């Protein structure tokens, strides 16, 4: 493992020339966060206008209202949020058009996916990307998650020449310039295997928006809804992705992952009843210190003030909600379709744990698969654990004091 980095300017950022220029540029803009404006831009980008069911407008309006009222967002922060909403709105139009023109897409079945669930920062990303190295499984690279359907007239090559890949690579380059330590904590290069919750974005769903900006109103609305319909939408986009590359030779069995699944296990099971689900478990205090440090660091570009106390309170509550739901609903998954994966044991023997997951999923660990996984481990050995965290010094709370809040979780699982 390489040298670890301590973020000494977490609350009083020392800006690079590139960061300062981006902040000044953002301050010069008037960024409009209105559904009508966002939808009009998406229609111009795509040349399409069929939005389908209009229930999404309530959710889009809520996001625009909450973020518009946030006076602490920088211009750069507001621009990033608007761009994300335009991206999701554009994808909604493109997905709708493909499903209208090719109704046979709905006949495709997403059979026996392997799905990783677990707290953010609990090894889910490593486990997903490791299994994605197995050439028998189909996974979702970041560039395809962001733009599932190409813009009209663009070639869909599915490789590094694809305009969607190019746009994602440009965003990755910008990220490395403006928030380089975020790139250390969570790689976002185009080929990085991503979470399928991004495919709920075109339906303006999922807890993903909470990661983009401080969004308690969005969280409260999300809590009130049965999320089955969002999982159905995501499943249909997976069908579309499968159909788009039906002649490419890519495998048909998906490997997926998302921490949100922890609090949506019944919805996940209803939509993917034959899935094998692997749930990672890690000390939630380690998870929280990682989340809040990453969020605080990112806020140097998006907010006028780093929300130290608010971040700790919000994400402690959020992790508790995820874990309470997991403890309550874990039994909805059959033993022969699910497995619990302790983080420390996963890190010590990751390929061994993949083999255990495969046994649940009815997959053999072949010599070829083992070689592919071993190659991934060798090539990505230094991807994680490169930031030094200090919950007491940077957030004013002792780990042991925070840990008492999660006794219910420690009692339920072998952490």
Query: Which tokens go with 307?
Result: 């929300």
Classify residue 228 as exposed, middle or buried by CB count within 10 Å of its CB (0-12, 13-18, 19+).
middle
Residues 6+ apart with CB under 8 A from 157: none
Q: What's the Cα-to-Cα distance from 266 to each of 80, 236, 326, rounded to whole Å?
A: 33, 18, 10
Identify the H or E element spanning 238: helix 228-244
Q: Are strands 255-257 and 338-342 parallel, antiparallel or unpaired?
A: unpaired
**Per-residue CA distances from 400 to 296, 396, 405 (Å):** 22, 12, 9
What is the rounded radius of gyration, in angstroms, for the C-alpha atoms of the chain? Answer: 21
Q: Where are the alpha helices (DSSP H) in 102-204?
A: 124-132, 142-146, 163-178, 180-185
SS (H, E, C) 127-139: HHHHHHCCCCCEC
Beta-bridge partners for 388: 6
Residue 399 DSSP SS3: helix
Q: How far is CA 365 from CA 94, 140, 356, in A?
A: 38, 22, 9
Rounded-to-integer distance, Cα 267 and Cα 349, Å: 31
- The tens-digit pLDDT sequence of the chain (415 residues) is 457 899 999 999 999 999 999 999 999 999 999 999 999 999 999 999 999 999 999 999 999 999 999 999 999 999 999 999 999 999 999 999 999 999 999 999 999 999 999 999 889 999 999 999 999 999 999 999 999 999 999 999 999 999 999 999 999 999 999 999 988 888 899 999 999 999 999 999 999 999 999 999 999 999 999 999 999 999 999 999 999 988 777 889 999 999 999 999 999 999 999 999 999 999 999 999 999 999 999 999 999 999 999 999 999 999 999 999 999 999 999 999 999 999 999 999 999 999 999 999 999 999 999 999 999 999 987 666 678 999 999 999 999 999 999 999 999 998 7
What is the CATH code for 5-29+111-199+241-412?
A: 3.40.50.300
The reported pLDDT for the residue numbered 3 is: 75
Q: How far is CA 98 from the centre of its chain?
A: 24
What pLDDT does residue 2 have?
54
Backbone angles phi, psi at 280, to 5 degrees: -80, 150
Q: Which residue has the tokens 């795509």?
A: 46
Task: Please report the DSSP string for 16-41 in residue order.
Answer: -HHHHHHHHHHHT------HHHHHHH
Predicted local distance difference test score (pLDDT) of residue 415: 79
> Which H helix or E strand runs over 6?
strand 5-6
| The pLDDT value given to residue 285 | 96
Rounded CA-CA distance 206/228 in Å is 11
- Coil, strand or helix at 303: strand
- Helix axes 17-27 and 75-101, enclosed angle (nearest 10): 80
Strand-pair partners of 280 = 118, 341
Answer for the pair 256, 198: CB distance below 8 angstroms, yes or no.
no
Domain boundaries, the chain: 5-29+111-199+241-412
| DSSP class per residue in 58-112 | HHHHHHHHHHHT-TTB-HHHHHHHHHHHHHHHHHHHHHHHHHHH-GGGGG----S
Predicted pLDDT of residue 384:
65
CB 281 within 8 A of CB 414: yes
Q: How many CB atoms lie within 10 A of CB 397?
A: 17
Please give the Cα distance from 47 to 51 (Å, whole number): 12
Q: What is the DSSP letter of 213?
A: S
């Amino acid at each position: 493992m390489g040298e670890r980095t301590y973020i000494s300017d977490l609350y009083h950022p020392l800006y690079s020339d590139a960061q300062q220029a981006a902040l000044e540029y953002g301050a010069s803009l008037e960024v409009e966060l209105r559904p009508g404006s966002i939808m009009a831009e998406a229609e111009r980008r795509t040349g399409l206008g069929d939005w389908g069911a209009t229930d999404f407008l309530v959710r889009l309006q809520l996001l625009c209202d909450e973020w518009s009222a946030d006076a602490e967002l920088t211009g750069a922060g507001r621009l990033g949020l608007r761009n994300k909403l335009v991206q999701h709105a554009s994808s909604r139009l493109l997905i709708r058009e493909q499903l209208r023109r090719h109704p046979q897409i709905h006949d495709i079945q997403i059979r026996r996916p392997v799905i990783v669930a677990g707290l953010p920062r609990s090894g889910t990303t490593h486990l997903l990307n490791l299994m994605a190295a197995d050439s028998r499984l189909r996974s979702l690279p970041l560039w395809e998650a962001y733009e599932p359907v190409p813009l009209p007239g663009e070639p869909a090559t599915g490789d590094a020449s694809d305009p969607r890949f190019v746009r994602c690579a440009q965003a990755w380059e910008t990220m490395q310039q403006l928030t380089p330590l975020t790139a250390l904590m969570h790689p976002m290069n185009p080929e990085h295997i991503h979470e399928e919750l991004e495919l709920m974005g075109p339906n303006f769903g999922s807890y993903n928006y909470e990661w983009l900006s401080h969004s308690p109103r969005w969280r409260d609305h999300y809590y009130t809804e049965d999320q089955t319909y969002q999982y159905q939408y995501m499943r249909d986009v997976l069908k579309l992705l499968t159909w788009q590359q039906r002649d490419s030779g890519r495998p048909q069995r998906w490997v997926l992952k998302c921490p949100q699944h922890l609090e949506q296990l019944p919805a996940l099971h209803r939509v993917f009843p034959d899935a094998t689900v692997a749930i990672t478990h890690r000390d939630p205090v380690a998870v929280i210190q990682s989340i809040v440090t990453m969020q605080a660091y990112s806020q140097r570009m998006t907010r006028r003030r780093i929300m130290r106390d608010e971040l700790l309170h919000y994400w402690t509550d959020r992790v508790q909600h995820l874990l309470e739901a997991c403890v309550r609903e874990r039994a909805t998954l059959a033993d022969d379709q699910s497995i619990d994966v302790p983080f420390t044991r996963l890190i010590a023997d990751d390929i061994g744990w993949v083999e255990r997951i495969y046994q649940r999923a009815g997959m053999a660990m072949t010599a070829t698969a083992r070689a592919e996984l071993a190659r991934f481990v060798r090539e990505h050995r230094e991807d994680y654990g490169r930031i030094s965290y200090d919950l007491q010094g940077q957030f004013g709370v002792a780990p042991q004091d925070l840990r008492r809040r999660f006794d219910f979780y420690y009692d339920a699982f072998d952490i």
